[in-house]
Amino acid sequence: MAVEDTMILDHEKWIATYSIAYGRIDPAKQQNIDRLLSAIEADAAVTDIRWAAYMLATVKHECADRWQPLEEYGKGAGRPYGDLVTVVSADGQSHMNTYYGRGYVQITWKDNYARLGKAIGVNDQLMIFPERALDPSIAYRIMSEGMRRGLFTGRKLGDYINDHRCDYRLARQIINGLDQADRIRHFVQLAFAARLAFERVDRMVRHVEFHHAAAEL
């Protein structure tokens, strides 16, 4: 059962809280965050605010706090997935690609690009044109499908964040073992706590305003 039926995020308040915690953000980063928040709101499959908070924390870490889909630094140099691979498209054309980390969650390896391309409905286009993982809309779909369905490591959001448990540390296994798990947990707790604080403040303000209005009648 979802924590909330509808995902509605107050962008201005969320960004303001982020600025208080991490310092002033420039307009470009603010635009990137705003776009990501909008993508989460539009995603009917993400109805638990804790899932949303964990996804945001993942992007903050994986994209070096730039909040936009990135190419892996070094482009896979020295790593097995950094080798050139020849693939053939449906029209018979050969393409030389390197399947290093790209996107919001830094997907790697040809097989993962192929599998995730099918999962988001673009068939072999992600494998043939891996740079499409840098498109924010595609990067978001990869992240959402992968984290919800366990397409990256076999572990999914629902395994760690559900009605019976909420383990932001072990949830890192959805993406990459326990690498930087505590750092990501710290941010997701801040993001979720800030949202709840705003909701409490909003309810308190409405309660006070109601009683003030009633007193004036």
- For tokens 């009683």, the residue is 211
User: Which amino acid is present at 140?
Assistant: Y
| Residue 116 and residue 84 in one domain | yes
168-212 pLDDT, tens digit per residue, is 999 999 999 999 999 999 888 776 655 655 555 454 444 433 333
| Residue 33 and residue 63 in one domain | yes
90-119 pLDDT, tens digit per residue, is 899 999 999 999 999 999 999 999 999 999
Lookup: tokens for 112? 């993962």
The total of structural domains in the chain comes to 2
Nearest C-alpha neighbor of 171 from the set 88, 48, 79, 71: 48
| Residue 126 and residue 141 in one domain | no
Domain that holds residue 92: 80-134
| 59 vs 7, more confident | 59
Does some domain include residue 27? yes
What is the chain written as a DSSP string? --S-SS----HHHHHHHHHHHH----HHHHHHHHHHHHHHHH-TT---HHHHHHHHHHHHHHTTTS-S-EEPTTTTTTSGGGSEEEEE-TTS-EEEEE---EETTTB-SHHHHHHHHHHTT-TTHHHH-GGGGGSHHHHHHHHHHHHHHTTTTS--HHHHBSSS-B-TTGGGGGTSTTTTHHHHHHHHHHHHHHHHHHHHHHHHHHHHHHHHHHHH-
* Domain of residue 103, CATH code: 3.30.20
Distance of CA 154 to the CA centre of its chain: 17
How much is the pLDDT for 188? Answer: 84
Does some domain include residue 159? yes
How much is the pLDDT for 214? Answer: 36
How much is the pLDDT for 195? Answer: 60
| CA dist., res. 41 & res. 60, Å (int) | 18
For residues 157 and 54, is the Cβ–Cβ distance under 8 A? yes
**Is the pTM for the entire model greater than 0.75?**
yes
Lowest mean pLDDT among 57-66, 67-76, 180-189: 180-189
User: Which amino acid is present at 145?
Assistant: E
| Residue 119 and residue 141 in one domain | no
How much is the pLDDT for 194? Answer: 56
